[in-house]
Amino acid sequence: MGDVQGLVLHPRILAAVRKAKLHRHEEVLRFSPADLERLTHLSAKDVGHLVREVSEAVRQRSHAATALQLLLGDCPAELKVKFLSLGCPVLDEFLRGGVPCQGLTEISGESSAGKTQFGLQLCLTVQLPEEWGGLNAGAVYICTEDAFPSKRLTQMAQQFPTRGLVPVQVTKKIRFSDQIFVEHTADKDQLSKCIQSRLPILLERGVVKLVVIDSIAALFRGEYESRETARRAKDLQSLGAQLRKVSQKYSVPVVCINQVSAVVGKRRGNGNISRLSVHF
């Protein structure tokens, strides 16, 4: 951001800001109006004028867009959200383009509902060129509970070119199984270490552009007692913050797969679905 001294402000205000050692726009916006009054010894009116001028300068320098413009795609290219195709036109249309390339996406469902299949499918489509809905890169698949389903992946990779969604001359150039990196983590500490140290190595090289975790909830079901709900929630939020940081820094989709459990209703006997609440 720019220098506050370059703004059109009264010399008295500029002198007070300089004396308070607030040189950059972000340094001014970091404080509340009350804090700015205390730091600069300016009146509330002067501080309000200062904040408005700084905010306007930041707005003009940045590429801002409204929520409606983002939805319609009527915004600068750097603000447009990219999507990773699921390899299924019906699902892509339902999700308005696929899985967003920034942020966390959670896939939850009962056992044998196809959650892992969903993750493996994304590991294949991410390797397609961008013009065919992929990101032209590999994927990292982090297993926390079961062994990686390599046999199923091999079968899917063999059938993928025959589905007719992408020209054969495109898929035959891709060695799908060679661009999926598998990591096994037995507890949340290992997962955190993987996210913070090993994962960035592949992301910085541009080797992978998709992260699939199967699953996060499995690590938190057995490591906490029933009375440790608050600590579990705090650790989940910390892990979610790490994953959001990875997604935003490298512009890659992070997909978290979680299994739900069926609970028999007390009154009607219906199967109600409850799951570990993974709020990021």
Domain ranges of the chain: 4-61, 74-274
170-223, pLDDT tens digit by residue? 888 888 888 999 999 988 889 999 999 999 999 999 999 999 998 887 787 767
Please give the Cα distance from 25 to 20 (Å, whole number): 13
Residues contacting 178, CB < 8 A, separation 6+: none
How confident is the model at residue 261, as a pLDDT? Answer: 64
- In the chain, % of residues over pLDDT 70: 90
Q: Which residues of 77-107 are buried (b: 16+ CB within 10 A; e: fewer)?
A: eeeeebbbbbbbeeebeebebbbbbbebbbb
Length of the chain: 280
- Name residue, tokens 């699953």: 215
pLDDT at 171: 87
DSSP letter, residue 43: -
Query: Bridge-partner residues for 261, per DSSP?
Result: 274
What is the pLDDT averaged over residues 120-127?
Answer: 94
Q: What's the pLDDT score for residue 166?
A: 87
Q: Which amino acid is at 55?
A: S
Average pLDDT, the chain: 85
pLDDT single digits (tens) 232-260 = 888 888 888 899 999 989 999 999 998 77
- Write down the pLDDT at residue 44: 95
Report the distance separating Cα 230 and Cα 157, nearest Å.
42
Provide the CA 36 distance to its chain's centre, in angstroms.
34
The most confident of 4-8, 45-49, 80-84, 163-167, by mean pLDDT: 45-49
Predicted structure pTM score: 0.70
- pLDDT digit string (tens) for 131-148? 999 999 999 999 988 889
Distance from chain centroid for Cα 87: 20
Enter the tokens of residue 166: 């992408």
Under CATH, domain 74-274 is a member of which superfamily? Answer: P-loop containing nucleotide triphosphate hydrolases (3.40.50.300)
Identify which has the larger pLDDT, 17 or 78: 17
Of 17-21, 92-96, 260-264, the range with the lowest mean pLDDT is: 260-264
Output the pLDDT for position 136: 93
Predicted local distance difference test score (pLDDT) of residue 269 = 46
Residue 98: pLDDT band by 50, 70, 90 thresholds? very high
- What is the CATH number assigned to the segment(s) 4-61? 1.10.150
What is the Cα 240 distance to its own chain's centre?
9
Asked whether residue 1 carries a pLDDT value surpassing 70, the answer given is no
Q: What is the dihedral of CA 192, 136, 92, 140, to 10 degrees?
A: -20
Q: Regarding predicted confidence, which is higher, 197 or 276? A: 197
